[in-house]
Structure 1
């Protein structure tokens, strides 16, 4: 073990957050200017104008009693009226983090679908994710929207959560950095982005009443830290609170979350909007909620006339109402929404935007297994069987409010069933990017034979007659529903087992919303995780299979080896509740608790480290067609330097990962820094990686605390494969969060 000199704590007095805050503020009007303008406008407001900005509607023709669309509204997620007399623009809102949502085709247009959030996270590429955010923000603006309901950053506490695909993994540093860069890209267009769903919104089962139970310290060291980092980098104009309860209070009426953490401790000056149908009552305003969204879905319009009447009768409500307006106006002015009117712009460059989505997909694909050099596919493979997954039609995408479709809509949409108002949303949709066509384009001399995989005998016969069999396996996920387990649905595990038994050169392409179990793994030659790969996912998959792209994705989540490795045996409530997209309790007195104090802040790979569990594929894992080596870190101040060398035969990219592996003699595992590195064959590069001191600390007594102790850190190829450690003796240090 190599001992380094003491940490130079004088260089980290401002903590690593300060540079991110300064960088973001430089791109926006000075906060004091926006605050002064907001204050002046509030003083000019008439009493009847003070409840205009505090509530919004869904401008969608859903059902016979739907209100008419206001003049200037665009079919989308939400509309908040402006105040023309004061020059305050309306807010025109659209989902979501993966692109401009399709809203069932009501606008008769399409948009560019980025790959899923987990695919984006698997790139570990801050700059690329910011570019993707800039692209979808530009499309939203071009369609006339000025608010994008993006910025999903809930940590993956359970791989069965149906909404994991929207988010950015299980680690607060990785997820926080990436969401911050995505938000910064979106808002570079002069529109506003949210960050969501605040907070601890970890499952869809009973999502409007499940109570997320967790201690203050554990929340601050995990999910809240991801939000905090993202907000420091991205400066989102709004925070969207979640459906769930947190320690007994609805998240959108949680005094602790909204008033104590967000507004007092973090000094957040923007506004909090509710999720659609998440407002429990008028007193949510006193608990910190600033705007009621999609009020048709709530029991009543609380933040309209009722709020106005309360303000006239109660000085506390009157003061709060002014603050609500001040916060909405602050974000409007800071992000220049009044200076850049929301109206349809020039035509969208579909081809250029699709190329960005394809680059994200290429960098996000993770090579999990590659036996006997099965990949990249050799030109000698003249007969290839392509089986299953609608690979002759398109690539699967996640469902719910984040659903994006290109022009013309889905290549195929499979209804899940039901007759309720949201039945149309619950369809398994595929983008118009065809893996089979992309493979044929790269290997025109190869004979491809497709079988849909419905019948094992048919698939096995095709596999036996081929040099290589490629099985496409899909796992569709959606907002509103969780998976009961981590198996592949519709008998696909049995299909892969049978095909692999028939052909030892079987390659599996996974298109999934999160981790899955692989009981057939040992029989396969190669496995790639393609996630939901977006608008040009077929082309990205083919480029990796044939080697025109050297895979560089690294897992942003842990793939468990078994269900019993998880903190909870099942999704809380899954055994007693019927699947319900809305998530309301079946009767008023029903309670449901998700006990996150079990793992606390040790989410994902941290839980495995604490319990001594070995994953099937650990966080940070990913193979390449070349070989990399990373030196032990050299640490000075709050920066670690590591030398990365490409020792293989071709150019490629890897991720230099830095982990805390023990503190005061206690083993632990925390990602404290990372950097994606691209290298030519034989080349080396030394990279500097800032260390976020909060990852070395614990939250205690209202602040961050680093004990006087020996800290050991190491570079790693994954959370389970770390190299030589370096030891640093650090003195005790305590500090508080800085204001945003």
Structure 2
């Protein structure tokens, strides 16, 4: 009888356990041996459970990682796919490896480490920013997130949020312009799109990294309030909107301390004030000491550092009580927390069919929306499909469209691109200094749009010959290109290799000359007055030729607006001469004083009274728009409402922009809001914009707070930072805002 009762009790317990396990499974729980797999638990709790199950050596292994390429002669780590970085997992605990790849413009394949692997090559970050379309930023982020996930990657080194402080910056093309609100919103929505595919995105390069020349050696020196109101504000906004799993710190110093071991940036601002819960990874080769572990969580690209600081030296530092064991746990938990939050455990990367044609269409849309019509005399554009003779000149327009160089370089889907090695003096030069044209030739696309026309081509090597060809054409389209790349800035704003002379010769020969610019930055335009039309196409991605032709022939009405000011001369810039020794290979330390502070770009021009060539926010259309009915309401913040109407004859999209122009009697210029409104001819719509109060406030470093002063706040609404077609004022109450 006792045996029977025992068996009955055991059976009851077994049944109860089975029911309990079933109930837990239904609630998303995991078996008891892996409680961190319970999806009903928050990411922080799951991270804590898993961290506690790791051995000390397993914890340490998560804190440093190598590059997963073979450029330096070392074999790839076992299990890696071949990419920028790899962190091994822990199989016994179900902890997946981290396969990390660049990044914002598409999934890269550095040095063809994965033979034949291609991906959608999106237009440059400046092209995306020029669209002023956050929905497009999210869609493009989601597309590259899906591609990364399908290829087996779970970390994208994306999310460039550095402000473009100088139009000669070699990496400006990856970023999102000169304004913190525009850059922060666009970066944040792109990051959110990436992470919707269960891929961790970074935000980078934290912080104040606008120059590439000497990036390992300069100290970016700036007032604390100005830093908060400019570059740090862009990052703060991007982090709030995108919730990136990781922050990548920069190569440079900020106010004398390396960015990747900067207590103020990583400790005070990021982790304390912003309560950032994810992990901070270094840029590749940006760690200089084991002491960086005070605030840095992961050493990336360890082969590029002088030693693996977060390996054995970190273990010894813990043993010597120089680094607390609790800090190691915090570093690990931050990594695990982001992995859980982004779904890396619950939705691991898996081979999947990618809709590359749809993604190509998205790349084409970004390129077309990002093209900025700068000039259109005598309604030269759009071109008629009945045009009889078209001369297409220069820019390798018969081959494709230019892209920027460096770690963001994508190997595009479709036809193989043309790559030309530019040479250099270092191993990094051989990897990065390559000019690549994506196989989307504008010449071919132009011929397709005007099938009845004679479309003739000249490569532009000899300006006199090109001018002769242009002279006999109904319209000439001359392409100007400027290659920019990582690790070096451009020395001036000219079109390189004598292209300005070519454009001048063609515009002189034919008054109906359209100039198309494929550049990574603003450029000088000494030939501007002689041109009929100018299109700024940036680096337009793998469908760029089609997008350019779409805009030239009016298939798409241009709606791009400049995300950067185009100066008339470098003499107008805060630093007319590029800072530093002037040689990318120099290892001499130097300081850069950012005396413009928070007055970046258009704000600098407003402060100095200088007139740019083209202002921030500028862009023309094939239709016309009218703004009316401005209403500005105050209280705790500003709410700005207005009517936008398409007064022209074709459909198009307007970008009404709202700027703070004065507080009391103090003039200023800050973008505080915008909307992008697509309208049919005769259609009108009322838009309303509620302003983030931080854009109206000043940062007080002593109080460590945003201070919004009571008073009258004047706004202007227009089509650029220099346009004030509507003005209004409202009163705000004083307010203090936490950082």
Alpha-carbon displacement from aligned partner over 1:658-700 (angstroms, at most 9, x marks no partner): 1101112111110101110000001100112121111110001
**Residue in 2 that maps onto 1:592:** 590
CA distance in 1: counterparts of 2:463 and 2:51, whole angstroms = 68
1:622 to 607, 619, 622: 619
**Residue in 1 that maps onto 2:632:** 635
* 1:735 Cα deviation from its structure 2 partner: 1.7
1:58–1:76 contact (8 Å) kept in structure 2: yes
Alpha-carbon displacement from aligned partner over 1:528-557 (angstroms, at most 9, x marks no partner): 000000010000000100001000000011
Deviates more, 1:420-429 or 1:545-554: 420-429
**Residue in 2 that maps onto 1:698:** 698
Could you say if the C-alpha distance between residues 308 and 129 of structure 1 is closer, same or farther in structure 2, counting changes exceeding 3 Å? same
1:411 to 414, 417, 420: 417
Could you say if the C-alpha distance between residues 451 and 488 of structure 1 is closer, same or farther in structure 2, counting changes exceeding 3 Å? same
**Residue in 1 that maps onto 2:656:** 656
CA distance in 2: counterparts of 1:492 and 1:632, whole angstroms = 46
CA distance in 2: counterparts of 1:247 and 1:421, whole angstroms = 30
Could you say if the C-alpha distance between residues 298 and 315 of structure 1 is closer, same or farther in structure 2, counting changes exceeding 3 Å? closer
CA distance in 1: counterparts of 2:46 and 2:55, whole angstroms = 16
**Residue in 1 that maps onto 2:101:** 94
1:634–1:640 contact (8 Å) kept in structure 2: yes
**Residue in 2 that maps onto 1:370:** 376
Alpha-carbon displacement from aligned partner over 1:554-582 (angstroms, at most 9, x marks no partner): 00110011111100012211xx34233xx
**Residue in 1 that maps onto 2:63:** 54
CA distance in 1: counterparts of 2:53 and 2:606, whole angstroms = 57
Could you say if the C-alpha distance between residues 591 and 539 of structure 1 is closer, same or farther in structure 2, counting changes exceeding 3 Å? same
2:385–2:449 contact (8 Å) kept in structure 1: no
Alpha-carbon displacement from aligned partner over 1:174-213 (angstroms, at most 9, x marks no partner): 1000000000000000110000000000100100111100
Query: What pairs up with 1:443-454 in 2 under 5 angstroms?
Result: 443-454=450-461
* 1:216 Cα deviation from its structure 2 partner: 1.1
CA distance in 2: counterparts of 1:639 and 1:709, whole angstroms = 15
1:609 aligns with 2:614: no
**Residue in 1 that maps onto 2:273:** 265
* 1:410 Cα deviation from its structure 2 partner: 4.9
CA distance in 1: counterparts of 2:308 and 2:161, whole angstroms = 28
**Residue in 2 that maps onto 1:300:** 307
What SS class does the counterpart of residue 713 from structure 1 fall into? Answer: strand
CA distance in 1: counterparts of 2:419 and 2:347, whole angstroms = 37
* 1:425 Cα deviation from its structure 2 partner: 2.5
1:642–1:686 contact (8 Å) kept in structure 2: yes
2:120–2:412 contact (8 Å) kept in structure 1: yes
CA distance in 2: counterparts of 1:509 and 1:540, whole angstroms = 12
What SS class does the counterpart of residue 212 from structure 2 fall into? Answer: coil
2:214–2:583 contact (8 Å) kept in structure 1: no
1:205–1:579 contact (8 Å) kept in structure 2: yes
2:555 to 545, 548, 551: 548
Query: What pairs up with 1:709-728 in 2 under 5 angstroms?
Result: 709-728=711-730
CA distance in 1: counterparts of 2:40 and 2:508, whole angstroms = 64
Query: What pairs up with 1:402-551 in 2 under 5 angstroms?
Result: 402-407=408-413, 410-418=416-424, 420-422=426-428, 423-551=430-558
CA distance in 2: counterparts of 1:219 and 1:92, whole angstroms = 33
Could you say if the C-alpha distance between residues 432 and 513 of structure 1 is closer, same or farther in structure 2, counting changes exceeding 3 Å? same
**Residue in 2 that maps onto 1:334:** 341
CA distance in 1: counterparts of 2:109 and 2:468, whole angstroms = 40
**Residue in 1 that maps onto 2:48:** 39
2:121–2:413 contact (8 Å) kept in structure 1: no
1:157 aligns with 2:159: no
**Residue in 2 that maps onto 1:393:** 399
1:274 aligns with 2:282: yes
1:161–1:483 contact (8 Å) kept in structure 2: yes
What is the CA RMSD across the aligned residues, in angstroms?
Answer: 1.5
1:52–1:83 contact (8 Å) kept in structure 2: no
**Residue in 1 that maps onto 2:353:** 347
1:173 to 177, 181, 184: 181
CA distance in 1: counterparts of 2:137 and 2:413, whole angstroms = 23
1:151–1:194 contact (8 Å) kept in structure 2: yes
Alpha-carbon displacement from aligned partner over 1:356-384 (angstroms, at most 9, x marks no partner): 00000110000000000100012342111
Alpha-carbon displacement from aligned partner over 1:136-168 (angstroms, at most 9, x marks no partner): 111111111000000001001100000000000
Gaps spanning 5+ residues in structure 2: where? 1-37
Alpha-carbon displacement from aligned partner over 1:110-155 (angstroms, at most 9, x marks no partner): 1101100000000000101100000011111111100000000100
2:386–2:450 contact (8 Å) kept in structure 1: no
1:241–1:272 contact (8 Å) kept in structure 2: yes
1:632–1:726 contact (8 Å) kept in structure 2: no
**Residue in 2 that maps onto 1:671:** 671
CA distance in 2: counterparts of 1:371 and 1:121, whole angstroms = 25
2:411–2:417 contact (8 Å) kept in structure 1: no
**Larger C-alpha radius of gyration, 1 or 2?**
2
CA distance in 2: counterparts of 1:409 and 1:79, whole angstroms = 29
**Residue in 1 that maps onto 2:683:** 683
* 1:31 Cα deviation from its structure 2 partner: 12
Gaps spanning 5+ residues in structure 1: where? 1-28
Deviates more, 1:681-690 or 1:268-277: 681-690
* 1:716 Cα deviation from its structure 2 partner: 1.2
1:463–1:499 contact (8 Å) kept in structure 2: yes
1:104–1:425 contact (8 Å) kept in structure 2: no
Alpha-carbon displacement from aligned partner over 1:11-40 (angstroms, at most 9, x marks no partner): xxxxxxxxxxxxxxxxxx999811111112
* 1:342 Cα deviation from its structure 2 partner: 2.9
**Paired residues, what number?**
695
CA distance in 1: counterparts of 2:506 and 2:686, whole angstroms = 45
CA distance in 1: counterparts of 2:85 and 2:589, whole angstroms = 30
Deviates more, 1:169-178 or 1:421-430: 421-430
**Residue in 2 that maps onto 1:578:** 583
CA distance in 2: counterparts of 1:207 and 1:259, whole angstroms = 22
CA distance in 1: counterparts of 2:44 and 2:228, whole angstroms = 28
CA distance in 2: counterparts of 1:69 and 1:519, whole angstroms = 49
1:310–1:318 contact (8 Å) kept in structure 2: no
CA distance in 1: counterparts of 2:438 and 2:79, whole angstroms = 30
What SS class does the counterpart of residue 584 from structure 2 fall into? Answer: coil
* 1:411 Cα deviation from its structure 2 partner: 2.6
1:69 aligns with 2:67: no
Could you say if the C-alpha distance between residues 442 and 491 of structure 1 is closer, same or farther in structure 2, counting changes exceeding 3 Å? same
Deviates more, 1:636-645 or 1:292-301: 636-645
* 1:395 Cα deviation from its structure 2 partner: 0.2
2:211–2:489 contact (8 Å) kept in structure 1: yes
1:632–1:723 contact (8 Å) kept in structure 2: no
- Any runs of at least 4 consecutive aligned residues in structure 1 with deviations exceeding 6 A, and if so which? 29-32
Deviates more, 1:633-642 or 1:712-721: 633-642
CA distance in 1: counterparts of 2:40 and 2:731, whole angstroms = 39
